[in-house]
Amino acid sequence: MLVQALSAITLYAALSSAAPTGLLKRVTLNAAAVAEAQVRDNTATRAFTAVSITTSDGSCLFVDPLSGDFRENLTPVQTAKCDGSTAQQWDVITKGKHNNKLNSALIVNTLTNACLNFDPRRVAGDQVNLFSCGGRADGSGAVTDSQLFQFTGSAGPLPLLPENGQNKICLTVVKGRLDQTACNPASASGSELFKFGKSAGAGSGTPPKASNTDSTPPPKASVASAATIKANNVASAASTKALTSSSAASAAVVTSNPAVKTGTKLNLAAVAEAMARDNTATRAVSGAPIKAADGSCFFVDPTSGDFRENLIPIQTAKCDGSPAQQWDVITKGIHNNKPGSALIVSSLTQGCLNFDDRRAPGNQVLLFACGGRADGSGEVNDSQLFPFDGTKKTIPLAPLNGKNAICFAIASNGLLDKTSCNPASLSANELFTIG
């Protein structure tokens, strides 16, 4: 099961200044209750995975997990300038545990795993929120028409019509928040229209699609360590430092790999400082999987490194589309000024793939703050730059500081490691597919 509790409890994200400040209620999340209520359906068929939803004015829908209740229910859906953060990513589920109806879809936040829900019993202005899929607060619900929306596969623009609205209710945006309005779906226009867009973060073209996602859930993990971490107040939006460890709640996959120690207690302020997303960067790819030769995907557990989310090993697991398995490829930005090269960045933590041959063998390939300084103050470091021209999806990962003699490969313990290689004659284990 995904570790909802971690991002739920540690979320300390710097949200866009466009977010209505009146919605930023801070709650103390109950780690066990969140883990029970907000469970990712790994059996589901997804028409779209981890995509943005844009409004008629080009802004993106997003959620702040600390703005609902202690279970991450009743979370308002807000709008802000699109920034590619995990809070702005959405799945569209056409079949699964909570959807058994043809031509309908659940709209699920990728970060929290909660479903978009219309409840006309609530007070006006607070009828459209995220709620545990199935409609029961504790996650025990099956299927409810308050969470099913008419859907035939189009990316839009299209109206969002909850089935319990009996074809007379459209979702709309009112003062920066998703709300409902009486409408005629045949003539829906303006703020009544939404579009399922690119993979959140911009850069790539068609949204990733997944059908019949793996039915085998990721290994379970204890929420005990997460429960010790308390959320602080939301950081200033102007700082643009999103604590992506915060997003680990719904995303991080934790395994029983004996080579990986998990459960680090994160220092939220230190993570915010060290792991800042470069919103100025040029991304060749955003939110994409990286696959090994055997078809498994790279993933990270934000609690498997140090208190800043540095020194995190890269593990492999069956691909499941979770944020912990998503990566950005940055070809130009604050930490990359070299043409023909790229940074490989975890979309979840914002740490950069790094090769440090000063460390002990078997522990030289890790995520580290981009720029190479633990506190995030670094600029450009060749230990984090990899040859990349954008013409091929399957490439070697050969760090520039390896001087064309080092490639990455999957070690026998399932972790990404380094090996001596000849880039002109690579083995299958030394090649990786992005996207």
Least confident of 109-123, 147-161, 228-242, 246-260: 228-242
Confidence of residue 26 (pLDDT cuts 50, 70, 90): low
Q: Supply the pLDDT for residue 267.
A: 86
Confidence of residue 358 (pLDDT cuts 50, 70, 90): confident
Confidence of residue 17 (pLDDT cuts 50, 70, 90): very low
DSSP letter at 233?
A: P
Q: Supply the pLDDT for residue 76.
A: 96
Q: Supply the pLDDT for residue 266.
A: 85
Q: Supply the pLDDT for residue 25.
A: 56
Output the pTM of the full model: 0.51
- Residues 6 or more apart from 328 whose CB is under 8 A from it? 84, 201, 203, 281, 283, 285, 286, 287, 288, 343, 344, 345, 346, 347
Q: Per 3-state DSSP, what percentage of the chain is helix, strand, and coil (rounded to 5)?
A: 15, 30, 55
Report the range out of 10-19, 200-209, 268-277, 377-386 with the highest average pLDDT: 377-386
Confidence of residue 84 (pLDDT cuts 50, 70, 90): confident
Least confident of 18-27, 45-54, 181-190, 386-395: 18-27
Question: In b/e form, how buried is each residue of 227-245, taking b as 16+ CB within 10 angstroms?
Answer: bebebbebbebeebbbbbb
pLDDT at 10 over 70: no
DSSP state string for 245-283: TTTHHHH------TT----PPP-HHHHHHH----TT-EE
Rg of the chain over all Cα atoms, to the nearest angstrom: 21
- pLDDT (mean) for 137-165: 94
> How far apart are alpha carbons 371 and 78 in whole angstroms?
32
Residue 51, strand partner residues:
90, 199
Q: What does the chain come to in residues?
A: 435
pLDDT at 86 over 50: yes
Q: Supply the pLDDT for residue 260.
A: 85
- pLDDT (mean) for 131-136: 95
- pLDDT (mean) for 121-143: 93
Q: Supply the pLDDT for residue 7.
A: 39
Using alpha carbons, list the distances in angstroms from residue 102 to 49, 105, 143, 147, 224.
Answer: 19, 8, 13, 14, 40
Q: Where would I find the beta strands (DSSP E) of 55-163? A: 60-63, 75-80, 90-95, 104-109, 115-118, 128-131, 149-150
Q: Which of 286, 367, 291, 292 shows the shortest CA–CA distance to 327?
A: 286
Q: Which amino acid is at 221?
A: A
Confidence of residue 198 (pLDDT cuts 50, 70, 90): low
Q: Supply the pLDDT for residue 261.
A: 82
- pLDDT (mean) for 2-15: 37
- pLDDT (mean) for 13-33: 54
pLDDT at 114 over 60: yes
- pLDDT (mean) for 15-29: 48
Using alpha carbons, list the distances in angstroms from residue 47 to 30, 91, 208, 318.
Answer: 31, 8, 9, 19
Confidence of residue 62 (pLDDT cuts 50, 70, 90): very high
Q: Supply the pLDDT for residue 265.
A: 85
Q: Supply the pLDDT for residue 269.
A: 82
Write down all domains in the chain, each with its CATH number in brackets: 4-199 (2.80.10.50), 228-434 (2.80.10.50)
Least confident of 14-18, 63-67, 233-237: 233-237
* Element at 37 (helix H, strand E): helix 31-37
Mean pLDDT of the chain: 81
